[in-house]
Amino acid sequence: MRTAKQQAEPRTGPDDNPALTRVEKVARAQATVTQVYHERCANAWRRYLGAMKVAGEPLRDGPTRPATPLEFWRDASSYWLDFTQRSILFWDTLRQRGNNWIEHEKAGKPPLLDFGWEMIADARTFARPVNYALVRIAPPDGVTTDPERRPFVIIDPRAGHGPGIGGFKQDSQVGVALKAGHPVYFVIFFPEPMPGQTLADVSRAEAEFLRIVGERHPKTRKPVVIGNCQGGWASMLVGALEPDLVGPIVINGAPMSYWAGNDGENPMRYAGGMLGGTWPALLASDLGAGTFDGANLVENFEYLNPANTYFDKYYTLFSKIDTEPERFLEFERWWGGFFLMGREEIRWIVENLFVGNNLADGDAEWSEGRAFDLRAIQSPIIVFASLGDNITPPQQAFNWVADLYPTTEALKANGQVIVGLMHKSVGHLGIFVSGAVAKREHTQIVDLIDYIEHLPPGLYGMQVEEQKVDGSVRYDVLLTERQVEDLQVLQKYGRKDEMPFQAVEATSEMLASTYETFVHPAVSAVATPTGAAMRRALHPQRAQRWAVSDLNPFLWPLKGMADMTRANRAPRDTEGPMAMMERWTAALTSASWDLYRDLRDATVENTFFRTYGPAGIGMAAEEAAGVPDEPSIAVRDTRLVKEALSRIEEGDRTRAFVRTALLLMKAGTGRRRLSAMKRARDLVGKDIGLIDMPAEAARGIIREQSYIVDYEPVKALSALPKLLRTSEDRRGLLDLLDRVEGRIEANSEQVALLVEIRRLLAEDGAGSGEKREPITVELTKDRAAGRPEAMTRPRRPRQTRETRRARASS
């Protein structure tokens, strides 16, 4: 992890100096790779030695041996009795895990939701069938939902596991939305894909689900869509495909920019290159008789943290055997439910996302010649990521924003509202299943939904603040305006380390083409459904479950032994030299696995950049020399902005009220508190007129007036009397300002602006034709001062799809 100073002063990239030749650039890049590798190895050994020092402190500082042989005998005998009992209960818990897995398989692997549900629509019956369905969540006892409140639709990831993680516990995304009174729907999927289904078919089915939800709640606004992990990009695909059906979109831990990440922190991004691209997934699908086994994806996740996979989670169960089994078995029931994908589905995912990174660039085609365009999404988007997530790091969660909108002005010109929320430490699965995260972050997200659609276009940072009042904890949300350009600090080297990934893409296309031509026909001819089923049954992820279950006759006595052990359980405390030695051994084992992981990841990263780095630099240089820069487009000259500026002196009471609010916001600090927005809505929401208006119309007014205030703030203020044509309208705005003033915090600029507005709208001067003094309030301050007003995508080391295909074919 680099220090804040190092983050502010990033290392020199391989091609910062344009005068260097290609050979010199490659040499400098390889020198940097070598330096980083040595640093990572040295840091890995330092962490290991530090962990050993910490683990050994209790042995050095505490009593290492009993005072007398009798005390030693008592400590050893009580420890080994406890150790033996824990061992029996540990293996019995694994036996129960295996039995649960078998029962879940026999039941058809239903969704593991902690709520009742009913089927609303089964996409297996659609014209283009897919293995998805829409279900309605039944509120638990004591919870009432209002059918006239906006519905929530939750899409879980189909990344190897089955559905249910978004409603795994009562304190979950489902539980939070239900407690807030919203109807909740859940998109589930079945273990096996329908023949021939594609990702485009899935997106169409999910769009149809949203249409059905909208018809079931005609008096509400469009449904909120929550997507978890890969369900996040699935939600974005639906929003791009059918923007008129989607309300606000919340994507949690969703990978959107797959090449992004930092060296030493995000090893999963190198997997595509080290495996050779798409062809391993195609081979696995062919061996599966046309289906891809989700257990392979789960194995990739477990590969990231071998200490937890092979030791930590089992030692935690062993050391807390009296309290941990229920939690362990509950999670393992979901973690061990492996689902299948169709060959074309996994190919599209790997080719367009994992290897190709085509989604943000608009190259992810859903049919021939038609690609998903994320700029078509009209609804606000909330992005929730975590610094502790090693599967979807913040760079992969946020960099797509900068890919789509190179400047803040471009984002605003498209009328888009994006809110980013960053957790400091929770891991990937904790974003979805942690009860603490559900009570804090997800509860505030649900609370914010009713207000986010009335924000002016822009990028906002969301921060959840904890306040302790009279012994109870309350939360408030602080929204701070951000610049798209600020996202560059998330990744080192100015994203120059993404250059080798385009070489991976070209290599993948070449190898996939070779595989399809020479290998696929032979493998698909000999692979049978029966053989595929046998290979799936023998997969290590499944074998470790059924092998330790009642299917194994050698384990039949285990249940009786465990029952006897529970009846005679004699737990001991954690004191004494034997217990201390156990903890020291556990710490040594865990630290050794971490050392292995760190050295392995450093070696993989070093091999990746040495293999693909030179080719990536060369391809970037060729592209820069052969492809002309895209022309800059002045944001002010775009259609939406020009139309808005042409209507500065046109409008009605609602537009005048919205313009006034935006002028006051522009003069403020760039921060908005949810509690303040709630107070403002209670005070003047009905008067402004946006609440009772359709969301699209309200967003259109806010977007139009925000353009006017951003680009012509002085004229916007001067034209206010022309929007308020009658004395009654002017009086209404003045009364509104009187109600707000004093109840909403205001700085000196806003106070001065309020005085100016009152003077401007004073009834004795309005419309009289008298000469007015010039406006003196400073309104031209631009928080993005000094930034180019351009809507052009910066040059990135990337080739067109056609160029890559030509290179691969040659």
On the question of pLDDT at 5 being above 50, the answer is: no
Average pLDDT over residues 46-60: 91
Distance of alpha carbon 1 from its chain centroid, rounded? 21
Rg (CA), the chain: 30
Distance of alpha carbon 566 from its chain centroid, rounded? 43
Lowest mean pLDDT among 59-68, 359-368, 647-656: 59-68
On the question of pLDDT at 574 being above 60, the answer is: yes
Average pLDDT over residues 642-671: 91
The confidence score (pLDDT) of residue 620 equals 63
Classify 771 as helix, strand or coil: coil
Confidence of residue 469 (pLDDT cuts 50, 70, 90): confident
Alpha helices in 355-404 (DSSP H): 394-404
The confidence score (pLDDT) of residue 127 equals 96
On the question of pLDDT at 772 being above 60, the answer is: no
Phi-psi region of 405 (alpha: psi -120 to 50; beta: other; left: phi over 0): beta
**Mean pLDDT of the residues in the chain:** 88
Which domains does the chain show, CATH number per domain? 116-257+357-490 (3.40.50.1820), 636-761 (no CATH)
Lowest mean pLDDT among 29-43, 393-407, 682-696: 682-696
Average pLDDT over residues 521-547: 97
Q: Which residue has the tokens 């469009």?
A: 222
Q: CA 300, CA 163: separation in Å to the nearest integer?
A: 19
On the question of pLDDT at 765 being above 50, the answer is: no
The confidence score (pLDDT) of residue 12 equals 40
Q: Which residue has the higher pLDDT, 494 or 501?
A: 501
Task: Looking at mean pLDDT, say which of 87-96, 669-678, 721-730 comes out highest.
Answer: 87-96
Q: Nearest to residue 250, comparing CAs of 186, 155, 353?
A: 155
On the question of pLDDT at 370 being above 70, the answer is: yes
What digits encode the pLDDT tens for the residues 218-256? 999 999 999 999 999 999 999 999 999 999 999 999 999
- Tokens read off for 480: 């701070």
On the question of pLDDT at 17 being above 80, the answer is: no
Q: Nearest to residue 487, comparing CAs of 464, 456, 459, 514?
A: 459
Q: CA 664, CA 658: separation in Å to the nearest integer?
A: 10
Alpha helices in 519-652 (DSSP H): 520-526, 529-537, 540-546, 558-567, 577-626, 639-645
- Buried b vs exposed e over 515-530: b needs ≥16 C-beta within 10 Å? beeeebeeeeeebeee
Q: Which residue has the higher pLDDT, 18 or 216?
A: 216
Q: Strand (E) positions, 612-771?
A: 671-673
- Buried b vs exposed e over 279-295: b needs ≥16 C-beta within 10 Å? bbbbebbbbbbbbbbbb
Write down the pTM of the prediction: 0.90
Confidence of residue 57 (pLDDT cuts 50, 70, 90): confident
Average pLDDT over residues 447-462: 94
On the question of pLDDT at 786 being above 80, the answer is: no
The confidence score (pLDDT) of residue 142 equals 93
The confidence score (pLDDT) of residue 3 equals 36
Classify 249 as helix, strand or coil: strand
Confidence of residue 264 (pLDDT cuts 50, 70, 90): confident
On the question of pLDDT at 13 being above 80, the answer is: no
- Paired residues of 153 in beta bridges: 185, 225
Q: Nearest to residue 366, comparing CAs of 205, 160, 190?
A: 205
Lowest mean pLDDT among 83-97, 129-143, 581-595, 628-642: 628-642
Lowest mean pLDDT among 142-146, 471-475, 534-538: 471-475
